[in-house]
Structure 1
Amino acid sequence: MARTPPLPDLRPARINALGEFAASIAHEVKQPLAAITLNAQAGLHWLEQDPPRLEQARVALRVVLQASRAATGMVRSLHGMTCQAEPERSTFFVDDMLRDVLQLLRGELRQHEIRVSEEFGLARHQLYADQVQLMQVIMNLLQNGIDALHAVHGRERTLALRSMLMEDALHISVTDNGAGIAPELAERIFDPLFSTKPGGTGMGLTICHNIVQAHGGRLWATTAQPHGTVFHLSFKEYTLWTPSRS
């Protein structure tokens, strides 16, 4: 009587998948949690002044609330991607979303003495997309820029966040003046578990790439001159906002 072949042991694959999911969550919520800590400390500082600086404390607490919502949304987003769920799409103004992300990162940018250049040219242009996921992408790219600038000494540390309409597509770019990416590594930066940073999870850019592709967009990197890296996002599908007439 023929023996039934043993069933494959799926536990190692499941353990690996859980490990990747845990690494993804740890990577994605790190920045919102840092924003919560920095702004909670700032809020306490303003309240302890004599007299208390109430307006500054309110601003800090608003950022805490925004960051906590972002962290919750990112966990929901990662769970949805793991389950291959469709993005939760809505229509939003691109430039407003970019400003919200910068607001979450203000504390860390000040802490590392990074000057940010903002050039937003999409005032009336909207995307129909998962806003939390697109915020994840921009936050990841800006965080990569911050990390790249840690080792920069002897020149000003700068990041540039730009949006514009280019060749009938919405174009967003994030530019840092760090050391740049070695040419032999440039084609691998979006590969799962590949990282150019010591201790990096190798998940951030992979998640970004998957999110952008799921929205029908493109994500790629080029070399900045004279120093650094530019990450580009491009989306063909967008709408132009027109005020309703009553």
Structure 2
Amino acid sequence: MASIKPTPDLRPARINALGEFAASIAHEVKQPLAAVTLNAQACLHWLAQDPPHLDQARSALRMVLEASTAASAMVRSLHGMACQAAPQRTSLVVNDVVRDVLQLLRSELRRQCITVTEIYAPDFQLHADRVQLMQVVMNLIVNAIEAARDLHDRPRMLTLHTALADDGLRISVADNGVGIVPALAERIFDPLFSTKPGGTGMGLAICRNIVQSHGGRIWNEPGQPHGTVFHLSFKEYTLWTPSRS
């Protein structure tokens, strides 16, 4: 009589997958929700003035709406990735995506006293999923903010740079924090691996999955003289030309 092979128990793998998915959601929505809180507090502050500063309050409310919309979009994006759905690609201007993310994080950057330097190439387009690209840029900027948080002996700096390089259109995010220990540099993109206390270890893993799904590459290198630089590169891009009516 033929032997019957035991059916493999898939529950541990499913539990691990659910755990990663939950950690991903927790990681991705944390910063947009923080932006909601900061801007809601700012709105209350402006309304409490005598007389109320209505223009500033309206601006803060617009940021609350944008941050909450971003959080919802990121959850949908994560669900789509978990279900292996195809990215929702459109033609987008890379510099606009970087600026939009930076605007969402302005309140936190000011709160952490971080000086931002922006260097932009001409407006180039990618055929990409806007929400997913925003997720990547937001993760990298948030990591830069966290890297600068413990700096007290020098100004806190963040540099955002888009440029054309030999490997294609490049987006770079540089901080001047303490940097990454060389022995750990190759592991930081691994799921559930984190160099930060309380970190989920999902942010950079999500970034790598998104960038690779768009045919791109992501890597990091030591900053000079301090910190870390993260680079994204995409080979397929076009120069953006404004449409004429």
Which range, TM-score by smaller chain?
over 0.9
By how many angstroms is 1:2 displaced?
5.1
Q: What is the alpha-carbon distance in structure 2 between the residues aligned to residue 86 and residue 44 of structure 1?
A: 41
Q: What is the alpha-carbon distance in structure 1 between the residues aligned to residue 86 and residue 4 of structure 2?
A: 39
Alignment pair present for 1:48 and 2:48: yes
Displacement over 4 Å in runs of 4+: none
The residue number in structure 2 matching 1:158 is: 157
The residue number in structure 2 matching 1:233 is: 232
By how many angstroms is 1:231 displaced?
0.2
Q: What is the alpha-carbon distance in structure 2 between the residues aligned to residue 5 and residue 187 of structure 1?
A: 39
Query: The residue matched to 2:27 in structure 1 has which SS?
Result: helix
The residue number in structure 2 matching 1:209 is: 208
Alignment pair present for 1:184 and 2:183: yes
The residue number in structure 2 matching 1:29 is: 29
Q: What is the alpha-carbon distance in structure 2 between the residues aligned to residue 244 and residue 212 of structure 1?
A: 28
Query: The residue matched to 2:6 in structure 1 has which SS?
Result: coil
Give me the CA root mean square deviation: 1.3
One-letter code of the match for 2:79? H
By how many angstroms is 1:114 displaced?
0.9
Alignment pair present for 1:39 and 2:39: yes
Query: The residue matched to 1:184 in structure 2 has which SS?
Result: helix
The residue number in structure 1 matching 2:148 is: 149
One-letter code of the match for 1:27? H
Q: Deviations over 1:65-119 (max 9, x none)?
A: 1111111111111111111111000111111111110111111111111111111
Q: What is the alpha-carbon distance in structure 1 between the residues aligned to residue 207 and residue 2 of structure 2?
A: 49
One-letter code of the match for 1:244? S
Query: The residue matched to 1:162 in structure 2 has which SS?
Result: strand
Q: What is the alpha-carbon distance in structure 2 between the residues aligned to residue 47 and residue 245 of structure 1?
A: 42
The within-5 A match list for 1:126-145 is 126-145=125-144
Q: What is the alpha-carbon distance in structure 2 between the residues aligned to residue 108 and residue 240 of structure 1?
A: 32
Q: What is the alpha-carbon distance in structure 2 between the residues aligned to residue 137 and residue 224 of structure 1?
A: 19
One-letter code of the match for 1:131? R
Q: What is the alpha-carbon distance in structure 2 between the residues aligned to residue 140 and residue 31 of structure 1?
A: 9
By how many angstroms is 1:22 displaced?
0.2
Normalised by the length of structure 2, the TM-score is 0.96
One-letter code of the match for 1:103? Q
The residue number in structure 1 matching 2:170 is: 171
Q: What is the alpha-carbon distance in structure 2 between the residues aligned to residue 199 and residue 238 of structure 1?
A: 37
Q: What is the alpha-carbon distance in structure 1 between the residues aligned to residue 202 and residue 236 of structure 2?
A: 26
Query: The residue matched to 2:75 in structure 1 has which SS?
Result: helix
Query: The residue matched to 1:188 in structure 2 has which SS?
Result: coil
Q: Work out whether residues 167 and 234 of structure 2, in 8 Å CA contact, stay in contact via their aligned partners in 1.
A: no
Q: What is the alpha-carbon distance in structure 2 between the residues aligned to residue 119 and residue 245 of structure 1?
A: 27
Q: What is the alpha-carbon distance in structure 2 between the residues aligned to residue 67 and residue 94 of structure 1?
A: 19
Q: What is the alpha-carbon distance in structure 2 between the residues aligned to residue 118 and residue 226 of structure 1?
A: 19
Q: What is the alpha-carbon distance in structure 1 between the residues aligned to residue 129 and residue 161 of structure 2?
A: 20
Q: Alpha carbons of 1:4 and 1:36: their partners in 2 closer, same or farther (altered >3 Å)?
A: same
Q: What is the alpha-carbon distance in structure 2 between the residues aligned to residue 215 and residue 166 of structure 1?
A: 18
Unaligned runs of 5+ in 2: none
One-letter code of the match for 1:170? L
Percent identity (aligned): 71
Q: Work out whether residues 114 and 158 of structure 2, in 8 Å CA contact, stay in contact via their aligned partners in 1.
A: yes
Q: Work out whether residues 28 and 203 of structure 2, in 8 Å CA contact, stay in contact via their aligned partners in 1.
A: yes
One-letter code of the match for 2:38? L
Normalised by the length of structure 1, the TM-score is 0.96
